Chain A
Amino acid sequence: NAGVTQTPKFQVLKTGQSMTLQCAQDMNHNSMYWYRQDPGMGLRLIYYSASEGTTDKGEVPNGYNVSRLNKREFSLRLESAAPSQTSVYFCASSLDRGGSNQPQHFGDGTRLSIL
């Protein structure tokens, strides 16, 4: 059982380049999330998808777009990468659609450096 799988694990980009981070879960979870983690800032929510077909902004959405491709997959796109987007990105999923108490389960993360 793989859980939440993120690709790639590491990536180096130049300023202005674009890329898509991929996330897939095999737990039949309804909700999926993208976070970034920076030193001293903790985990900050970028975007989330409460259920298949819906996406919403989190705390720090600027510079990112997302796609909930199907129930399993939720991708994060950087259209024009900036050095401020250097971070560790985590995808997570949870069973609930909302209003319930299900925990989130995290992928291994993508370490992204923007030069």
Chain B
Amino acid sequence: QKEVEQNSGPLSVPEGAIASLNCTYSDRGSQSFFWYRQYSGKSPELIMFIYSNGDKEDGRFTAQLNKASQYVSLLIRDSQPSDSATYLCAVKGNTGFQKLVFGTGTRLLVSP
């Protein structure tokens, strides 16, 4: 079982719709959760991070965390064609020096 799992996609949504990206993780002790966006041929770019259960909003982006169910999601409202990219979920534990564990990413396609 992979430690961090994401559906590879592609997830296709029309412009203006809400895109919902999901991520599940296996380490119940995980404490920090990060979403990165990666355009084709580019490096990962941090979008949001969340530490506590519930929702965290930043502009058109909302991260949702449910530790009991071990999943974290990213909602993108009013999706734009420029949001088309691969979205990487990354998870970090809470003891000692913890490394990020990345999922393989979900490819999002937003059509005009």
A residues in contact (CB < 8 Å) with B: 31, 33, 40-43, 45, 48, 50, 58, 90, 97-99, 101, 103-109
Contact = CB atoms under 8 A, between A and B. Distances in A.
Q: Which of B43, B96, B98: most chain A Cβ within 10 A?
A: B43
A106 B44 CA distance: 6
Main secondary structure of the interface of B (DSSP, over half): loop
Nearest to A96: B97
B27 to A, nearest CB: 15
A101 B97 CA distance: 10
Contacts of B104: 40-42
B71 interface: no
Given A42-B104, A101-B51, A103-B46, 17 more contacts: A42-B102, A42-B103, A42-B105, A43-B44, A97-B97, A98-B98, A101-B31, A103-B49, A104-B34, A104-B46, A104-B90, A105-B46, A106-B43, A106-B44, A106-B45, A108-B43, A109-B43
A52 to B, nearest CB: 14
B94 interface: yes
Contacts of A50: 97
Q: Which 8 A-B pairs have the closest CB atoms?
A: A98-B97, A42-B104, A101-B32, A43-B102, A106-B43, A50-B97, A106-B44, A42-B102
Main secondary structure of the interface of A (DSSP, over half): loop
Interface size class of B (residues with CB under 8 A): 20 to 34
A99 B102 CA distance: 18
26 contacts: A31-B97, A33-B99, A41-B104, A42-B104, A42-B105, A43-B102, A45-B100, A50-B97, A58-B99, A90-B43, A90-B44, A97-B97, A98-B97, A99-B96, A99-B97, A101-B31, A101-B32, A101-B49, A101-B92, A103-B34, A104-B34, A104-B46, A104-B90, A104-B100, A105-B46, A106-B36
B1 interface: no
A55 to B, nearest CB: 12
